[in-house]
Protein backbone atom coordinates (compact mmCIF):
# COMPACT_ATOMS: atom_id res chain seq x y z
CA UNK A 1 0.00 0.00 0.00
CA UNK A 2 1.37 3.42 -0.97
CA UNK A 3 0.86 6.47 1.24
CA UNK A 4 0.23 9.71 -0.61
CA UNK A 5 1.26 12.99 0.98
CA UNK A 6 -1.47 15.56 0.58
CA UNK A 7 -1.44 19.26 1.34
CA UNK A 8 -4.47 20.73 3.05
CA UNK A 9 -5.48 24.00 4.63
CA UNK A 10 -4.66 24.12 8.32
CA UNK A 11 -7.77 24.48 10.49
CA UNK A 12 -8.33 27.76 12.29
CA UNK A 13 -8.35 26.21 15.80
CA UNK A 14 -5.28 24.50 17.30
CA UNK A 15 -7.48 21.74 18.79
CA UNK A 16 -8.76 20.92 15.32
CA UNK A 17 -5.18 20.84 14.04
CA UNK A 18 -4.18 18.24 16.62
CA UNK A 19 -7.16 16.05 15.67
CA UNK A 20 -6.25 16.30 11.98
CA UNK A 21 -2.58 15.56 12.69
CA UNK A 22 -3.49 12.30 14.36
CA UNK A 23 -5.04 11.21 11.04
CA UNK A 24 -1.87 12.01 9.01
CA UNK A 25 1.54 10.39 8.98
CA UNK A 26 3.51 13.38 7.67
CA UNK A 27 3.05 17.17 7.74
CA UNK A 28 4.45 19.96 5.61
CA UNK A 29 6.77 22.49 7.24
CA UNK A 30 3.98 25.07 7.03
CA UNK A 31 1.56 22.80 8.88
CA UNK A 32 4.15 22.03 11.55
CA UNK A 33 4.89 25.75 11.96
CA UNK A 34 1.18 26.47 12.48
CA UNK A 35 0.94 23.79 15.15
CA UNK A 36 4.11 24.90 16.94
CA UNK A 37 3.19 28.58 16.47
CA UNK A 38 6.60 29.43 15.04
CA UNK A 39 7.79 30.71 11.66
CA UNK A 40 8.29 28.12 8.92
CA UNK A 41 12.00 29.05 8.81
CA UNK A 42 12.29 27.91 12.43
CA UNK A 43 10.79 24.55 11.45
CA UNK A 44 13.28 24.26 8.54
CA UNK A 45 16.16 25.02 10.92
CA UNK A 46 14.90 22.47 13.44
CA UNK A 47 14.67 19.82 10.70
CA UNK A 48 18.23 20.56 9.54
CA UNK A 49 19.52 20.24 13.13
CA UNK A 50 17.61 17.00 13.63
CA UNK A 51 15.43 18.46 16.37
CA UNK A 52 12.24 17.27 14.67
CA UNK A 53 11.56 13.79 13.27
CA UNK A 54 11.60 14.70 9.59
CA UNK A 55 12.73 13.76 6.10
CA UNK A 56 13.43 15.60 2.88
CA UNK A 57 10.86 15.13 0.09
CA UNK A 58 12.53 16.78 -2.87
CA UNK A 59 13.09 20.40 -1.83
CA UNK A 60 10.47 20.23 0.94
CA UNK A 61 10.62 18.94 4.48
CA UNK A 62 8.08 16.45 5.82
CA UNK A 63 7.68 16.23 9.59
CA UNK A 64 6.43 13.08 11.28
CA UNK A 65 3.06 13.99 12.80
CA UNK A 66 3.18 11.83 15.93
CA UNK A 67 6.76 12.89 16.68
CA UNK A 68 5.75 16.52 16.39
CA UNK A 69 2.98 16.05 18.90
CA UNK A 70 5.36 14.55 21.44
CA UNK A 71 5.75 16.87 24.39
CA UNK A 72 9.53 16.92 23.94
CA UNK A 73 9.22 18.46 20.47
CA UNK A 74 6.91 21.22 21.69
CA UNK A 75 9.12 22.03 24.69
CA UNK A 76 12.28 21.91 22.57
CA UNK A 77 10.78 24.33 20.06
CA UNK A 78 9.79 26.86 22.67
CA UNK A 79 13.06 26.72 24.60
CA UNK A 80 15.27 26.89 21.48
CA UNK A 81 13.20 29.71 20.01
CA UNK A 82 13.52 31.68 23.26
CA UNK A 83 17.27 30.99 23.44
CA UNK A 84 17.80 31.99 19.79
CA UNK A 85 15.78 35.18 20.25
CA UNK A 86 17.72 36.10 23.39
CA UNK A 87 21.00 35.48 21.56
CA UNK A 88 19.96 37.70 18.63
CA UNK A 89 18.90 40.49 21.00
CA UNK A 90 22.18 40.24 22.91
CA UNK A 91 24.21 40.37 19.68
CA UNK A 92 22.28 43.39 18.41
CA UNK A 93 22.71 45.15 21.74
CA UNK A 94 26.45 44.42 21.77
CA UNK A 95 26.76 45.72 18.19
CA UNK A 96 24.99 48.96 19.14
CA UNK A 97 27.25 49.43 22.16
CA UNK A 98 30.37 48.85 20.04
CA UNK A 99 29.14 51.30 17.39
CA UNK A 100 28.55 53.89 20.11
CA UNK A 101 32.02 53.35 21.54
CA UNK A 102 33.60 53.61 18.07
CA UNK A 103 31.75 56.89 17.43
CA UNK A 104 32.83 58.29 20.81
CA UNK A 105 36.45 57.27 20.16
CA UNK A 106 36.40 58.93 16.73
CA UNK A 107 35.01 62.14 18.25
CA UNK A 108 37.67 62.09 20.97
CA UNK A 109 40.46 61.62 18.40
CA UNK A 110 39.07 64.39 16.23
CA UNK A 111 38.82 66.69 19.27
CA UNK A 112 42.44 65.99 20.28
CA UNK A 113 43.64 66.58 16.71
CA UNK A 114 41.73 69.86 16.64
CA UNK A 115 43.28 70.95 19.98
CA UNK A 116 46.76 70.11 18.66
CA UNK A 117 46.09 72.08 15.51
CA UNK A 118 44.98 75.13 17.50
CA UNK A 119 47.91 74.98 19.94
CA UNK A 120 50.50 74.79 17.11
- Judge whether 61 lies within some domain: yes
What is the domain count for the chain? 1
Which structural domain, as residue segments, surrounds residue 87?
14-91
Q: Has residue 109 been placed in a domain?
A: no
Please report whether residue 6 resides in a domain: no
Q: Averaged over 87-103, what is the pLDDT?
A: 88
In this structure, are residues 16 and 5 in contact, taking their beta carbons and an 8 Å threshold? no
pLDDT tens for 36-88 read 888 999 999 989 988 888 999 899 999 998 888 775 556 666 677 777 777 88
CB 52 within 8 A of CB 66: no
Amino acid sequence: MTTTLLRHEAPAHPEAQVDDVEQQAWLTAEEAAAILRVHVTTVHDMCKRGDLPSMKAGRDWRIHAQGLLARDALDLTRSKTIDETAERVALKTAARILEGLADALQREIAHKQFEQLISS
